[in-house]
A and B are shown apart, each in its own frame.
Chain A
């Protein structure tokens, strides 16, 4: 029993950075922009969150910085693709290369200035970013560790997912935004501010990705700086968007399932089940590829990518 609880808790923690990346990418794809820059935006969030946390020793400021950095990266992408109508694939790849590069340049710069040759977050912030403890609730057996002992990121991620789901499904503005992703011409004709909403969604989505990046360095890596801390999670997040069929609520459990896949190899009894580690690492991608094919083969409309994804919108082309 306790083994199962440990596994689930570990899966949730491993899935949380993916949750942020996935939610950010869903926001992008919902307005028709297949943004391949998730990895870059997460990196930018990681370096900004870490460096601000390192300097100020304040967890809230670090989170804000991570959000701002991801959002800035996304803003560049938005300017290039929305206003200047550049190719989404190329712009996204560029954002990834640029983001990772800039992150490593800044990290290298600060590492060079530190006396010990390492960068570690100070004590105060480390305590704040650790698991929460709610007196009473956190101590309940089974339910306590399963629900009330995570680090603050987990709860922030779930709250954002729920808010996004409410926004897209139950508000008029949310419906408008979804219309932009499916058919921007129709949305524009109906009086929706297509370009403004594209900017809003892409930039906020980038900010959410940035928080996920901060997670990778602050939690996964225990607050010690390393380069390439995001390590491909951004790409898994792009995959997860498909797995979650572009719905924020599915992203919650989807990212926890993917988190479980990431840690599965440490929890399987290797003496009974002989599967090479590489196949566990491959699993999320294999599963996503299969889902992608199945969804396209069955042509399930509400489980498909927003129809206008990857295309630019120019008013006069109507």
Chain B
């Protein structure tokens, strides 16, 4: 390789920094990426032999075709929205945890303990206790990696990944052993909650959506108008700056991660007490991972999260309709989500950088350009 260095000419295309785009231009860029993604997704659908326009139209109409469908869409949106708000707090501090999945699960386990074993308590009291328990559970599960990160700089991404699976198998342990429903002698399952431990409905949807909206307002205010929110954004910008400004970075990290986990825990509570009506193995079901993507697509902005999680829910719900109508798997929504995200995060490049073509006079030595170095 080294002999080529001397002869290395300016590459055909190189990357250079640009004046950063304004937020408005950045939003336009995102919309452009979205359109390109939909075109790419359309090509994929066309290859499979479907008319992309028909499929897209069916997805949108499918998510709203009846009251039941709309309720279903909102139900999908609730946990996604809540956990995306949760992970936002952590990601604002550049705390790269992927542990939302585990925090949702532990939140659900903590809530389910009261739902299963104190179902004789009055309903409002029981539900409030379950809510608080889920926050404590999710918060503590989030705190673990933060403690190790503070003490030994343990990699939080990898550590939280392990915690997700430990949490998942904890449900299996409870299901097979101590919490197994004795009334169900066949396959092991955890008993269904009694009326007292189930979230009431408002407009036909469990009130998880009300909790979600309250959280939305709280998180919005917390991030934008409180001292804590300011501290989070300073730490996200630079830990050194925060230290220099006299902030107790370690304490703030612990506090914020606890809150982040606690919010994810609420998503677990809402799923268990609102949708599953028991503690199921799939209580998180990948929501914790999708939530990270939602938060990222929304630039960690609560209003954006509201919009993006809604779009994802529509995509999810609509895809179940295309399965029944066109025999195209529901997993199509995952493929489309993936394509959209690839385009949008790749498009994010152009906010800060641009490609520069080699000047005309240098053309004539194309053989010097290595494929992978085009960028």
Interface residues of A (CB under 8 A from B): 34, 36, 76, 79-80, 82-87, 89-91, 93-105, 107-109, 112, 173, 176, 191-193, 195-200, 227, 232, 235, 238-239, 242, 276-279, 281-282, 285-286, 288-289, 292-293, 296-297, 299, 305, 310, 314-316
Contact = CB atoms under 8 A, between A and B. Distances in A.
Interface string B46-76: 0010000000000000000000000000000
B152 A235 contact: no
A83 B375 contact: yes
Contact of A196 (B173, B353, B371): B371
B152 to A, nearest CB: 4
A311 B59 CA distance: 37
Given A89-B96, A108-B328, A191-B5, 4 more contacts: A80-B342, A93-B289, A193-B1, A278-B177
A76 B342 contact: yes
B145 to A, nearest CB: 9
Contacts of A310: 96, 157
Given A195-B372, A278-B169, A285-B162, A93 B293 contact: yes
Contact of B334 (A76, A97, A277, A282): A97
B285 interface: no
A289 B162 contact: yes
B176 A101 contact: no
Contacts of A89: 96, 98, 157, 292
A275 to B, nearest CB: 10
A97 B289 contact: yes
B173 A279 contact: yes
B117 to A, nearest CB: 19
Nearest 3 interchain pairs by C-beta:
A98-B338, A101-B334, A196-B372
Contacts of A85: 349, 353
Nearest to A191: B5
A108 B331 contact: yes
B158 interface: yes
B48 A109 contact: yes
A22 to B, nearest CB: 13
Given A192-B1, A196-B372, A102 B293 contact: no
A36 B173 contact: no
Nearest to A83: B375
B348 interface: yes
A289 B159 contact: yes
Contacts of B329: 104-105, 107-109
* Listed residue (A84, A193, A238, A297) with the most chain B CB atoms within 10 angstroms of its CB: A84
B166 A80 contact: no
B332 A101 contact: yes
Contacts of B2: 191
Contacts of A97: 286, 289-290, 293, 334, 337-338
12 contacts: A93-B292, A101-B334, A101-B335, A102-B334, A104-B334, A108-B329, A192-B1, A196-B370, A276-B173, A281-B172, A293-B152, A299-B152
A284 to B, nearest CB: 8
A284 B300 CA distance: 33
A91 B163 CA distance: 21
Nearest to B290: A97
Interface in B139-156: 148, 151-155
B166 A292 contact: no
Interface string B1-30: 110010000000001110000000000000
Interface in B343-360: 345-349, 353
Given A84-B349, A90-B296, A292 B332 contact: no
B152 A282 contact: no
A296 B172 contact: no
Contact of B98 (A93, A281, A282, A293): A93
A107 B333 CA distance: 15
B207 interface: no
A195 B373 contact: yes
A128 to B, nearest CB: 30
Nearest to B329: A108
Contacts of B36: none
B155 A296 contact: yes
Contacts of B332: 101, 105
B331 A101 contact: yes
Contact of A101 (B48, B96, B296, B333): B333
Which of B16, B158, B348 has the most C-beta atoms of chain A within 10 angstroms of its own C-beta?
B158
Contact of A292 (B158, B165, B176, B334): B158
A176 B290 CA distance: 36
B158 A239 contact: yes
B174 to A, nearest CB: 8
Contacts of A288: 158, 162
